[in-house]
Structure 1
Amino acid sequence: MPAPTRRRRWLTICAITASAGLVAIPAGAAPGGNGNPFGVRALDRLAAQRAHTAATTNPKAKAEDEDGGNEADEIAEGADQYAEARTSPGIVAPGAYGAAWTSLSNLKSTGGSWRHLTDLPYNSDDSRYRDIDSNSSGGSGNVTGRMAAMAADDDGYVYAGSAGGGVWRSKRGGGNWKPLSDRLPSQSTGALALDGAGRLWLGTGEANTNADAYLGSGVYVLAHPHHGTFSARSRVGGDELESTTVRQLRFGRGKVWAATSEGVWSHSTKKLTGAWKLEFAPNPDYLPGGSKANDDAAAYKNITNDIAVDPKDPSKVILAVGWRSGDDYNGFYTQDAKGTWKRITSGFGDLPTDADNVGTVTFAHAADGSRYYAIDQSPEQMASNPDSGLEGIYSAASPFGPWTKVADYKQLAADGSALTSSGYMPGVQAWYNQFLTVDPANPKHVYAGLEEVYESKDGGATWSTVGPYWNFGFSCWSIDPAKQTGDCNQTTHSDQHGVAIGRYHGKGFVYVGNDGGVYRRPLSGSQDASGHATDWTSLNDGTIDALQYYSVGVGKDLDHGGVTVTGGLQDNGQSVLRGNDTVMGSNFGGDGGDTLTDPANGCDIAEEYVYLAVQITQNCGVNDGSWTTDPAKATSYNVAPADNATSEARFIAPLTTDMKNSDTWVAGGRHIWVQTHGYAIRSGSEWKSVYDLGAGRTATAVAASGGKVYAAWCGPCNNQGFARGISVGNADGTGWHDITLPADGTVPNRYLSGFAVDPKNADHVFLAVNGFSRHWTEGPGAGVGHVFESVDGGTTWKDVSANLPDVPADSAIVLPGGGLAVATDLGVVYRAPGRTRWQRVGSLPAVAVLQLKLSPDGRTLYAASHGRGIYTIKVRDCD
């Protein structure tokens, strides 16, 4: 397989997984019309990090890893990283986020209100930015953030549950969306379902087991979803499902069944008060309150995926149980005559029952109960097969079988998949991407979602890739629209998670939710000769802003006036919003990490892909479509420091400029890197390592002012043996040393997520600390507090958290008047100059804000949220 010359693509899995490792995927290239790879980020450096993270939670996997076996094919870096910042050094007890939201809501608010900046279309195919490092012309069109669940009815109402931005409603068959869950303490969606009475059920806590998924606060029901909104009072039961994820909600026996990360639970659908009943947990000792609740493996010992209630006999139920990376308890369970749940070991036909081949599972059944379908991901395949983790798609007359395999990844690949041209196979992320649904009017008409969308009209005998991964690699494609054959139609964004079938103006439609938002096509739509749909419509019209930003950058727009605002996004590249734009464009594809923007020129941009793969442009990435890599004509440049090649940086690694000299940049991996050419840098060789943090350590935050550099690090960074520290030195490489943090826990042994340096005094610095305090975290040295202050260059620290709620702090910034703003997992807080008490800034929903930046004139604060886009507020309103 030829190595790509440029490196960018969506199939990076974005930090896929909460704990067992990033799946290793071979490098590949999507050939472009001129023979050059287009839109492709090489994954060979990721594959080089294959490690044994899953072995910490699976003794069987550990034995295989020590023998150089299956689990060595999983990638450690990127696996824990979003989650571990919030959990290390221990496990977080249920109720942490709920308590934090209550405390935050009770804080006194500052003046002013947030202005939503990114509530407008974001066009991933924007022809202004058709650079070799963008994904423009791939065919996804307008996009937004990840959609984890979908629901629709026959009256034109559509409901979309986003990963981090709450639930949205459209009453027009899609588009013109309104938020429904802003009053809830969790904006993370796991499941949506409409019951027979027309009520909308919401299970919070995304269950895709990816790294940036959040736990939920329970299950809620909306009696009149056409015009109501969710509230805390609409929660079903008590707090039994707090701090869990909910993958599916199913109905039967007069109950709602919830497949969660802590077993299968049920509740009456008539009486919504009273506790949830735990129906089955394979390892109850690992549940909260159990004898092994504090074990490192506890989070993975009771994961359940789906429930199949036999529509012909609702007394018969099957549970699909298991952790995607494998465990001895993985399998299918049903009740015996005494009501005891027993594992099914035979009589299932082609559908496996052994633990090695039952991973993440999704069920679906025909409306008349005549057919059942299932998708099964295999832990064994995921660990040993670089092509795919998909065991297969199956069909049966009853959920009790016998099941017949109707498709495997090779068959799907041969039916018009776009993955094959990139060196991948369908189901390579089958643990992360799954949906399945059946046409209510036709038991043989099935839609299945993996990385792509597949359709069968004959019960699975044949399939069409109606939603290919992208258009790159197809013969119809050309970067020049005038040269296309006309056969390349809009497709969906990649990585499918949710699906629903509904009606609008009397016509049936299928709605899919994926890493790029919501798309719709007629239920029985048209296809071209290759089986690709010709009638997808993006429903991401800008009214649904669920964009998941890691960062934000702001600089003057020298061409149009005002400012240019840019930011790095989960699986949606880098957005660019210029002063006169009504539509945002994308100048870099793949995952967007940290961002640097020249305050004096907003088209000078440095964007981080994963692991410090830094790209820069000095014209916003505007390109004529020539894709040139000629340095004299290129519009973007790969300037990654060496820690990128060796993968010794975090998935989203810290990158900053010196506050006093914007030409001095600091980046953190294992080493602290400095370059002094600003946006004129053209090569990664221009970075200089000024300090080696040491083997096994990696930077979590960096800051610099007047040549003084602060670097926070962790190593190990996961729960097992977690350690953190601070190193301080100068940008010229002199004076570097590790700070001796006091043993009394003044600075907690938790993830150090950000520095804020006083612009007037480089020795005056604040430290933001992630995770939860020891009240919620069972781990050595968890300590208390989230904001700390030093007036002697980091030598000593004082806890200044005061009345700050116990919520993970992500970053901080000193405002021009001397006040301090802190971004947290539930919004932004502020401490006025000379004060000790904290206030809530505005009234954002319960969404994580990961980064704060100031406008070039210092008058406006920009907040990058991971689920609701970018917001601004005038700095004077904080005072």
Structure 2
Amino acid sequence: MSVPTRKRRWLTICAVTASAALVALPAGAAPGPDGGRPFGARTLAQLAAARAQSTGGITPKVTAQDSDGGNESDEIAEGADQYAEARTSPGVVAPGAYGAAWTSLNNLPSSGGSWRNVTDLPYNSDDSRYRDFDSNSSGGSGNVTGRLAAMAADDDGYVYAGSAGGGVWRSRSGGGHWEPVSDRLSSQSTGALALDGSGRLWLGTGEANTNADAYLGSGVYVLTDAHHGTFSARSRVGGDELESTTIHQLRFGGGKVWAATSEGVWSHSTKTLGGAWKLEFAPNPDYLPGGSLASDPSAPYKNLANDIAIDPKDPSKVVLAVGWRSGDDYNGFYTKVRGTWTRITSGLGDLPSDADNVGNVTFARSADGSRYYAIDQSPEQLNTNPDSGLEGIYVAKSGSPFGPWTKIADYKQLAADGSALTSSGYMPGVQAWYNQFLTVDPANAQHVYAGLEEVYETKDGGGTWSTVGPYWNFGFPCWSIDPAKQTGDCNATTHSDQHGVAIGRYHGRSYVYVGNDGGAYRRPLDGAQDSSGHATDWTSLNDGTIDTLQYYSVGIGKDLAHGGVSVTGGLQDNGQSILRSDDKVMGSDFGGDGGDTLTDPANGCNIAEEYVYLAVQITQNCAVNDGSWVNDASKVTSYNVAPADNATSEARFIAPLAADMKNSSTWIAGGRHVWVQTHGYAIRSGSEWTSVHDLGAGHTATAVAASGGKVYAAWCGPCNNQGFARGISVGNADGTGWHDVTLPVDATVPNRYLSGFAVDPKNADHVYLEVNGFSRHWTEGPGAGVGHVFESKDGGTTWTDISANLPDVPTNSAVVTAGGGLAVATDLGVVYRAPGRTTWQRVGRLPAVAVLQLKLSPDGGTLYAATHGRGIYTIKVRDCG
């Protein structure tokens, strides 16, 4: 979200989160059966223009990326593709890769130091200090954290939140005052949470939102003492049958727990937790692990299950919703007929039964068994309708999942009931393949909450709907940028993009809890609404004790105004955070997705903040602004300086950006071209970048680095497993001496995604290369090779594998510490090789969370780690080894 200029957040991506779950399902990752982006749609820049006109404000600036005809749903899919490409190319990764890496990492010797979380305080997306042109302040989301994929709650005030990449958290006070309860597991990616009739908490690992951060999991776990216990490896249900899957839903009936997974539908006894899971149904078993087509690039899409509906009157009668969001011949509803799972082809009433219109589906049943509800996302709508992918919301008044079903809402009806999307050129359900939840009031079978991009409520069984949790407040008459008011005259709303929901009680009152891309929110179950149908009583539960923030990057610079340092970083769907040394609350000065970050070590308010595809912003005052730019263009405090590859979409979703180690005014940016600008933070226009090297048609930079004018650029193209290729180009910042390094497929450097460089500050010809993905032991693809860290002493001409005892796990970035030590960020934490040593040790004890970037403090004495699911951590370099 950006304030009334370009509502950048709609052009954001809700993608890419990491946890160290197990193996890379190209969930929306490698090119799926849909063959690319699902659809195109008009830009949301018109919303910005409309708001500027209605307030008499300045005409908003619109970047090329904003006006290229793309939309958020496109970008979620693209970001998902690219994040997983890095971990799966050049082939398909076999199950168990992350599990084996986690075991290997735990067997490494560990340094004696401890990590400290520096972002464990409230993060206010409405911080009135940052009402800058490109912030989302005053949008109404309030305090936020990283994406929550699942929620559960009981009647004793206990609430459970399952994050996309930061594990499971528990509150004993109806929300807030959170504590992590799954840190001992090898997977911190949540797919489903559910409380059974005896109060046990069931966790299905592996987020199933088919987005970039959708890491696979390690199975299903049960916490018997949900109020006081913590998950451990010993609490896993069954064997390893569900390892390396994502789990979309867990449902109970007939003494069984049913799991809808990326590898079909499975069941297990709820009484006896040992013994294997039973595969109930897989529509295409040849594509399962061990099958004859398991290595086929389309295998991850061939057995996706979304939900299970169990007949309350006869739990032996079950309906399965299976299918890939973008469509496949097997999509549909299935039930057992004479012992065989058979597609239901008729008799469902309004609920579609054809493969083209059954995609991602969520069921919900009333507590009294009188009604069943369902949300259905349509592959046909997804692929053809620029407004919405929602087929509809349905009810079966018989209480049976077999119907007949009646449609009670479509996207047009929801749009007319107070949605914030209509003024932006979109309709509810535009991301229905990614955003879905559904629940029924236990005391009232006609009282239903539905989640898409927004939160909707009906109290009459679908006759009328209210948008109780609008996408944001921008566009509403009550909105104002007045810094004295957090959300103008509007009431607070939730963050957008809904994933999880639960109903529970606290101090005798019932509440609904929702989890979304901004964390956890609650309101009274039968809460109040204003005249527009918007809730007046949402409370953010993101009090800083839950830190699931999903960073792509981190930047550190001296805080000249307050002493100490300022810490900033780019986040999935939560913009750019900034934490100054005297802050008690962290603020957001930049909306949408935050990508790579450059921060001036000498002045932490000089920041280059990247949106996606190299849409770079510059601020030289931390983007502090009271919103006066609305009526005075001269009051803008950030500037769009995107290189031209942004306009042509020839850059990666999260594109590389770096400053020369010897000259901080020289910057390198990578798209199809290697771009250089020499004005540092004084740059004011994208025209000030110069292309010094063309990597070639179809090639795009994956990493850049520079020292003393010597530049390294890694690239891929194609970047997926359909002919994957990679390379390295080396040259000078003045455009001279550019050449491609010879890297044949069978070279020492594997034919995998090249993710980072670390240059020796004492010698520009001495450089380290980080390689993503998994070795050929796990990856079926040409030239997958072995190793993750390589060293060159001749400017990149030749390379030596120095991985030694490093676990076989994707590596993302590295830094050279004082004295020549090397710290490396991996998908499971940080490892370190001390000066003069050849082996690696684990740095501290982080949970199984991906670390995407490392940076050193201005004095070089502290290491900062940007994790994609647990915020930003620091450790003293002396404690690394």
TM-score (norm 1): 0.95
Task: Using the TM superposition, give the Cα deviation of residue 580 of structure 1 relative to its aligned residue in structure 2, in angstroms.
Answer: 0.3
Counting only pairs closer than 5 Å after superposition, residues 684-699 of structure 1 correspond to structure 2 as 684-699=686-701
Match status 1:395 vs 2:406: no
Q: CA deviation at 1:625?
A: 1.2
> Residue 628 of structure 2: SS of its match in structure 1?
coil
Report matched runs for 1:714-753 at 5 Å: 714-753=716-755
Specify the alignment match of 2:365 in structure 1.
365
Indicate yes or no: 2:41 matched with 1:25. Answer: yes
User: What residue is the counterpart of 2:574 in the other structure?
Assistant: 572
Question: Residues 22 and 79 of structure 1 are in contact (CA less than 8 Å); yes or no, is this contact kept in structure 2?
Answer: no
Residue type of the alignment partner of 1:730: N
Q: Deviation at 1:14? A: 3.2
How do 1:222-261 and structure 2 match up within 5 A?
Answer: 222-261=223-262
Deviation at residue 711 of structure 1 after TM alignment: 0.4
Could you tell me how far 1:629 is from its partner in structure 2? 8.9
* 2:160 aligned partner: 159
Q: Do the aligned residues in 2 keep the contact of 1:39 with 1:134 (CA within 8 Å)? A: no
Shift of 1:212: 2.0
Shift of 1:744: 3.0
1:503-550 superposed Cα distances (whole Å, 9 cap, x missing partner): 000100000000000000000000000000000000000000000000
What corresponds to 2:618 in structure 1?
A: 616
What is the aligned partner in structure 2 of residue 211 from structure 1?
Answer: 212
Q: Deviations over 1:215-237 (max 9, x none)?
A: 11111110011000000111111
What's the counterpart of residue 202 of structure 1?
203
Q: For residue 482 of structure 2, what is the amino acid of its counterpart?
A: D
Tell me what 2:24 maps to.
none
Q: Contact 2:773–2:810 (CA<8 Å) still a contact in 1?
A: yes
1:442-461 correspondence to structure 2 within 5 Å: 442-461=444-463
Describe the shift of the 1:84–1:848 C-alpha distance in structure 2 as closer, same or farther (beyond 3 A). same
Pick aligned residue for 1:837 from 836, 839, 845: 839
Cα distance between partner residues in 2 of 1:45 and 1:653? 16
Which one of 440, 448, 465 corresponds to residue 438 of structure 1? Answer: 440
Judged with a 3 Å threshold, the aligned counterparts in structure 2 of structure 1 residues 366 and 712 are, in CA distance, closer, same or farther, namely: same
Instruction: Give the match's secondary structure for 1:685.
Output: helix
Question: What are the residue-to-residue correspondences of 1:453-602 with 2, within 5 Å?
Answer: 453-480=455-482, 487-602=489-604
Task: Name the SS for the 1:101 alignment partner.
Answer: helix
Q: What is the distance in 2 between the residues matched to 1:607 and 1:332?
A: 45
User: Deviation at 1:361?
Assistant: 0.2
SS at match of 1:611: coil
Q: CA deviation at 1:304?
A: 0.6
| Structure 1 residue 817, shift from structure 2 partner | 1.8
Verify the 8 A CA contact 1:10 1:494 in the aligned structure 2: no
1:445-493 per-residue CA deviation (whole Å, 9 max, x = no partner) reads 0000000000000001100000000000000111015689975100000
2:101 alignment partner AA = A
Cα distance in 2 for residues equivalent to 1:169 and 1:143: 17
Return the alpha-carbon distance in structure 1 between the equivalents of residues 70 and 483 of structure 2: 39
The 3-state SS of whatever aligns with 2:712 is strand
What SS does the aligned partner of 1:661 have? Answer: coil
Corresponding residue for 1:54?
Answer: none
Q: Give the equivalent residue in structure 2 for 1:286.
A: 287
- Name the SS for the 2:393 alignment partner: strand
> Equivalent residue for 2:407?
405
Q: Which amino acid aligns with 1:18?
A: A
Residues 101 and 554 from structure 1, CA distance in 2 versus in 1: closer, same or farther, beyond 3 angstroms?
Answer: same
Distance 1:42 1:514, change over 3 A: farther
Whether the aligned pair in 2 keeps the contact of 1:40 and 1:133 (CA below 8 Å) is no
Percent of residue pairs identical = 84
SS at 1:876 equivalent: helix
Q: CA deviation at 1:78?
A: 2.9
Which stretch of the first structure deviates more once superposed, 36-45 or 292-301? 36-45
Match of 2:684 in 1: 682
**Residue 869 of structure 2 corresponds to residue 867 of structure 1:** yes
Task: State the match for 1:341 in structure 2.
Answer: 341
User: Shift of residue 10 of structure 1?
Assistant: 4.1
Q: Which residue does 2:708 correspond to in 1?
A: 706
Query: Aligned runs of 1:634-713 on 2, under 5 Å?
Result: 634-713=636-715
Cα RMSD for the two superposed structures: 1.9
> What's the counterpart of residue 851 of structure 2?
849
Change (3 A) 1:111 1:256: same
Label 1:511 to 1:264 Cα distance change in 2 as closer, same or farther (>3 A): same
**Is 2:68 the counterpart of 1:34?**
no
SS in 2 for 1:436: strand
1:633, distance to aligned residue in structure 2 (A): 3.1
The residue identity in structure 1 corresponding to 2:410 is D
* Equivalent-residue separation in structure 2 for 1:243 and 1:492 (angstroms): 32
> Which residue in 1 is equivalent to 2:25?
none
Q: How many residues align?
A: 856
Evaluate the alpha carbon distance shift between residue 498 and residue 301 of structure 1 in structure 2; reply closer, same or farther with a 3 A threshold.
Answer: same
Per the TM alignment, residue 632 of structure 1 is displaced from its structure 2 partner at its CA by 4.3
**Residue 876 to residue 527, structure 1, CA distance change in 2 (3 Å):** same
8 Å CA contact 1:257, 1:264 repeated in 2: yes
2:417 alignment partner, one of 394, 397, 415: 415
Structure 1 stretch displaced more, 3-12 or 585-594: 3-12
Moved more, 476-485 or 224-233: 476-485
Does the residue aligned with 1:518 lie in a helix, a strand or coil?
strand
Q: Secondary structure at the match of 1:643?
A: helix
Residues 1:689 and 1:76: Cα distance change in structure 2 (over 3 Å): farther
Cα distance, 1:384–1:48 mapped onto 2, change above 3 Å: same
Q: Do 2:759 and 2:766's aligned partners in 1 also have CA atoms closer than 8 Å?
A: yes
Residues 584-640 of structure 1: per-residue CA shift (max 9 Å, x gap): 000000000000000000000000000000001000000021135967432000000
Q: Is the 8 A contact 1:39 1:135 kept in 2?
A: no
Give the aligned residue type for 2:226.
Answer: P
Instruction: For 1:20-99, list aligned pairs within 5 A.
Output: 20=32, 21-23=36-38, 24-28=40-44, 29-30=47-48, 31=51, 34-36=55-57, 77-99=78-100
CA–CA distance in 2 between the matches of 1:710 and 1:404? Answer: 60
Counterpart of 2:22 in structure 1 is none
Gaps of 5+ in 1: 51-70
Asked if structure 1 preserves the Cα contact closer than 8 Å seen for 2:14 and 2:76, the reply is no
Aligned to 1:171: 172
1:206 shift after superposition: 0.5
Distance in 1 between residues matched to 2:117 and 2:622, nearest whole Å: 22
Distance, in Å, in 1 between the alignment partners of 2:868 and 2:215 is 11
Letter in 1 for 2:841: Q
Cα-to-partner distance string for 1:713-762 (whole Å, 9 max, x where unaligned): 00000011000000000000000011001453310010000000000000
Q: Deviation at 1:149?
A: 0.2
Tell me which residue corresponds to 1:58. Answer: none
Call closer, same or farther: CA 1:41–1:400 in 2, change over 3 Å: farther
Q: Distance in 2 between matches of 1:653 and 1:41?
A: 20
SS in 2 for 1:342: strand
What CA deviation, in whole Å up to 9, does each residue of 1:629-679 have, x standing for no partner? 967432000000000000000000000000000000000000000000000
Is 1:147 aligned with 2:148? yes
Residues of 1 paired with 2:135 and 2:61: CA distance?
9
Q: Distance in 2 between matches of 1:127 and 1:726?
A: 44
Q: Which residue in 2 is equivalent to 1:62?
A: none
Task: Give the drift of 1:49.
Answer: 7.1
Q: 1:773 aligns with which of 772, 775, 780?
A: 775
With over 3 angstroms needed to count, the CA separation of the structure-2 counterparts of 1:676 and 1:482, relative to structure 1, is closer
Q: TM-score, normalized by length of structure 2?
A: 0.95
